[in-house]
Structure 1
Amino acid sequence: MSIKGKAKEAAGYVKEEAYENGDSPESQRKAQEGRDLRNEGRIEDGKPPKTGKPGTEN
């Protein structure tokens, strides 16, 4: 596992959590950016990306 991958995953998680409950299109866009960043970090570390709906742990 790389430090860079872990940092991306953590930063993406924080960004997603901060914006996922917003109703505006801007909030939804930022939450998606966080998901994308988190998944990019997971892929760098050799883990599969999370594809389930946020908050379902699937």
Structure 2
Amino acid sequence: MSVRRQIKEAAGYVKEEAFENGDSPESKRKAQEGRDLRNEGRIEDGKPPETGVPGTQD
């Protein structure tokens, strides 16, 4: 696992968690950007993307 991929995944996770509870369209957009970044890091590392409901471990 490269450091760059780990950073992408961690940064995406933090961004998603920071904005997932917002009600504004801007918050929802930023949370989705976080999910996309996290999944991009996971895919680059050969892991499957997280497809569960945000905020759950499913």
TM-score under structure 2 normalisation? 0.96
**Structure 2: gaps of 5 or more residues:** none
Shift of 1:3: 0.8
Shift of 1:2: 1.0
Number of the residue aligned with 1:11? 11
Number of the residue aligned with 1:25? 25
Letter in 1 for 2:4: K
How many aligned positions are there? 58
**Structure 1: gaps of 5 or more residues:** none
Aligned equivalents of 1:2, 1:46: Cα separation in 2:
11
Contact kept? 1:16, 1:34, Cα under 8 Å? yes
Contact kept? 1:2, 1:44, Cα under 8 Å? no
TM-score under structure 1 normalisation? 0.96
Q: CA RMSD in A?
A: 0.5
Identity percentage of aligned residues: 81
SS of the aligned residue for 2:8 comes to: helix
After TM superposition, which residue ranges in structure 1, 4 or more long, deviate above 6 angstroms?
A: none
SS of the aligned residue for 2:43 comes to: helix
Letter in 2 for 1:10: A
